[in-house]
Amino acid sequence: MGQLAHTLPEGELVAGVTLLAGEIYLLRYKKRDQVEVYDVTTYCLQRRLTVPDAGSFTDMTSCEHNRCVYIGNGGKFKCVHRLDVQGAVTRWAVNDSPRGLSVNAAHNVLVTCPWVRKIKEFSSHGDLLRELTPPDDVIRLWHAIQTRSGQFIVSHGGLSNPVHRVCMISADGCHIVHSHGGQRGSDTDQCNVPVHLAVDDNEFVFVADRFNRRVTLLSPTLEYVRQVVSHDQLKGEPWYLYLDTQQRLLYVADNNPGTGSVIFCSV
């Protein structure tokens, strides 16, 4: 089990957490000052930033290469906001409701679009580079991360869907190579809405298993390894993850009804 290292203050629900340029970026569901920026060492609040035209935030990720943060907005704009380290904000259209965000080795942004069952790849400034459609039984996509070999780790399954899994999908999006899960449940080989993922440098996979209220570690071939965060360490449900690979700290967005925080666990 991971050891709890620190907890950020409670506030509005957390819509994402990431690390950029030695600072922690935390996104909250608010009309203003949605992004809170903390020092990575002292955890002291440095500043707050406002994302204009805020809507229904869906995720946040970062890119050290482009020195910016990306924020998914599933509201009327159906867009991704690009927030650079100086605080300038631009946005570009996804044209479908975005859900999970990640950045691949080419420094492009992967956006899952669950209602149309697509993974869209965009440049840093919003040029659509390609679209992938996963196999037919991958329904209600939450999050996708591309490995160094070009394959995709995806999580899928909503409350109304019978299958809840984490899958490794071939680089062309056509075939499932490995999978973990199946029928929704709470056993070690099952998931109950696996909403978010993080992958370490050795391609071990951390899974935020929302309604089982736990974070699970899977091997590079998606076999169960251990539980990293248990429901006893959470006040609510794990919604979002970020892995600081240098410090071996896992950031977990812990949301209760109405309030949210981020806990830091050594892994």
Q: What is the CATH number of the domain that holds 141?
A: 2.120.10.30
Query: What is the Cα gyration radius of the chain?
Result: 17
Contacts 24+ apart (CB under 8 A), 82-90: 82/124, 82/125, 82/126, 83/35, 83/49, 83/51, 85/20, 85/21, 87/49, 89/49, 89/51, 89/52, 90/125
Q: Is residue 200 part of a domain?
A: yes
| CA gap 52, 47 in Å, rounded | 16
How high is the pLDDT of residue 1?
73
What residues pair up with 167 in beta bridges, in sequence order?
A: 154, 179
Q: What is the pTM of this model?
A: 0.96
Other C-beta atoms within 10 Å of 80: how many?
Answer: 25
Q: Do 58 and 100 form a contact (C-beta atoms < 8 A)?
A: yes
Residues of the chain short of pLDDT 50, as ranges, are none
Q: Is residue 199 part of a domain?
A: yes
How high is the pLDDT of residue 205?
98
How high is the pLDDT of residue 161?
95
- The pLDDT tens digits for 70-91 are 999 998 889 999 999 888 899 9
3-state secondary structure of 127: coil
In 3D space, the residue among 209, 236, 226, 237 whose CA is nearest the CA of residue 267 turns out to be 226
How high is the pLDDT of residue 85?
87
Q: Is residue 252 part of a domain?
A: yes
- Cα three-residue angle 200-205-207, rounded to 5 degrees: 125
How high is the pLDDT of residue 86?
82
Q: Do 215 and 204 form a contact (C-beta atoms < 8 A)?
A: no
User: Which H or E element spans position 241?
Assistant: strand 237-244
Task: Please count the structural domains in the chain.
Answer: 1
| CA gap 251, 265 in Å, rounded | 7
Q: Is residue 143 part of a domain?
A: yes
Q: Is residue 195 part of a domain?
A: yes
154: containing domain: 3-256
Q: Do 9 and 264 form a contact (C-beta atoms < 8 A)?
A: no
Q: Is residue 263 part of a domain?
A: no
Q: Is residue 265 part of a domain?
A: no
3-state secondary structure of 166: strand
- How far, in whole angstroms, is CA 160 from its chain's centroid? 21
Other C-beta atoms within 10 Å of 219: how many?
Answer: 14
How high is the pLDDT of residue 37?
97
Q: Which two tokens stand for residue 144?
A: 């996708």
Q: In sequence order, which ranges of the chain are alpha helices (DSSP H)?
A: none
49 burial type by CB count under 10 A (0-12 exposed, 13-18 middle, 19+ buried)? middle
Q: Is residue 134 part of a domain?
A: yes
